[in-house]
Amino acid sequence: MSTVLLLLITGLGLGALYFLVASGLSLIYGLMGVLNFAHGSFLTLGAFLGWEVARRMPDGSWLTFGVSILVGAVVGATVATLTELLLIRPLYLRHIEQVLVTVGLSLATVALFEGIWGVDPIYVVGPEWLNDTTDIAGALIPNDRFVLIAAAVIVLLGLVVFLKRTRYGLIIRAGVENRAMVTALGVDVRRAFTLVFAIGGAAAGIGGVLASHYFGYVSPLIGGSLLIFAFIVTVIGGLGSLTGAAIASVVVAVLQQFANFYLGGTGDFMVVALLAVVLLVKPTGLLGSKA
């Protein structure tokens, strides 16, 4: 029982990380039709600059931890905004070129990060409590899982409130459904594009800092490795569906954890198998309307 609980909560924690990356990916694709392969770079840069700020502050304090998350969010949002304005917008509606640009940016930034910070992992230090465990029904759960889950829930709730309660949220929801009709109502949808990139980048930046604490290190490849699963989550959840991304994040991560433990380390294989099944049975994903 304690093993099941440990796997479940660890899966939820990993799912929280997937969601922080996938939420932006899903909204960006849903609204703009752009598969953003540079999303992992937003995450990585957020993690590196979060660590850079944190190492200049008192080790292991909650303030340091909080500031590094804030830095990750700001860096992610800023870089994503610049990417949209400088690289994506000039290629408006040219989806293949947009994808190629994001692939190129992803490769170039990894090389840049390796040039600046080296190829070896850099170990990060967080508040002591994150390294402790909490006993729940006999299962010793690492505390960082709770932080990850809490962060993802806060981001999810924030996004839901934003999408439901604000005019830009309304524009984004409508644009995911029918972008051309939104412009035909006199709405400049390009501003929503920039905003969606910024929000996605902020979530990825937060995910980057939290991922560095979850894995215990930051490296130039940390974003790319998470991005693969985030893409899978996005497709399984349904492109453009935030709720779908949230559900799929949990399903994928929990399946991964259980398969790794009970089925001889086949977690990644099972996730890909699940992706294949979803694409065969429901190509639009769990809650998506676009194949």
Partner 1 sequence: MNAPDPILRVAGLSASIDGQQVVEQVDFEVPATGVTAVLGRNGVGKTSTLKAVLGLISRSGVVEFDGARIDGEPTHRIVQRGIGYVPEDREVFASLTVAENLRLAERGTTPNRGMVDELFPDLIARSAQRAGSLSGGQQQMLSLARVLMNDNRLLMVDEPTKGLAPRIVTEVAAALERAAAVTPVLLVEQNLPVVRRLAHTVVVIEGGRVIHAGPAAELLDDDERTQQLLGVHSTDHGAPRGGTDHGAPKGDTDRSAPTGADESREETP
Pick between residue 190 and residue 282 the one whose CB is nearest to partner 1: 190
Among 186, 264, 280, 281, contact with partner 1 (rule: CB under 8 A): 186
Write out the binding residues for partner 1, residues 130-169 only, by CB under 8 A. Answer: 167
**Residue whose pair of structure tokens reads 């931890």 in the numeric block:** 65
Among 1, 96, 185, 281, contact with partner 1 (rule: CB under 8 A): 185
Pick between residue 76 and residue 240 the one whose CB is nearest to partner 1: 240
The answer to whether residues 276 and 265 touch, using CB atoms and an 8 Å cutoff, is: no
Pull the structure tokens for residue 198.
Answer: 């910024």
What is the distance between the alpha carbons of residues 51 and 209, in angstroms, rounded to a whole number? 7
The answer to whether residues 257 and 9 touch, using CB atoms and an 8 Å cutoff, is: no
Piece of 31-39, 65-73, 185-193, 252-260 that binds partner 1 (CB under 8 A): 185-193
Pick between residue 184 and residue 281 the one whose CB is nearest to partner 1: 184
Among 189, 235, 248, 252, contact with partner 1 (rule: CB under 8 A): 189
What is the distance between the alpha carbons of residues 164 and 176, in angstroms, rounded to a whole number? 14
Distances (CA, A) of 11 to 164, 171, 196: 28, 33, 27
What values do phi and psi take at 221, rounded to 5? Answer: -100, 0
Per-residue binding string, partner 1, 59-88, x by CB under 8 A, is ------------------------------
Q: Minimum distance between the CB of residue 197 and partner 1, rounded to whole angstroms?
A: 19
Write out the binding residues for partner 1, residues 162-181 only, by CB under 8 A. Answer: 167, 170-171, 173-174, 177-178, 180-181
Q: According to the binding rule CB under 8 A, does residue 183 interact with partner 1?
A: yes
The alpha carbons of the chain give a radius of gyration, in whole angstroms, of: 19
What is the distance between the alpha carbons of residues 189 and 113, in angstroms, rounded to a whole number? 33
**Residue whose pair of structure tokens reads 């949230």 in the numeric block:** 246
Q: Minimum distance between the CB of residue 284 and partner 1, rounded to whole angstroms?
A: 14
Residues with Cβ within 8 Å of residue 45, at least 6 apart in sequence:
75, 76, 79, 109, 113, 205, 208
Q: Minimum distance between the CB of residue 150 and partner 1, rounded to whole angstroms?
A: 29
Site residues (CB under 8 A) for partner 1? 167, 170-171, 173-174, 177-178, 180-189
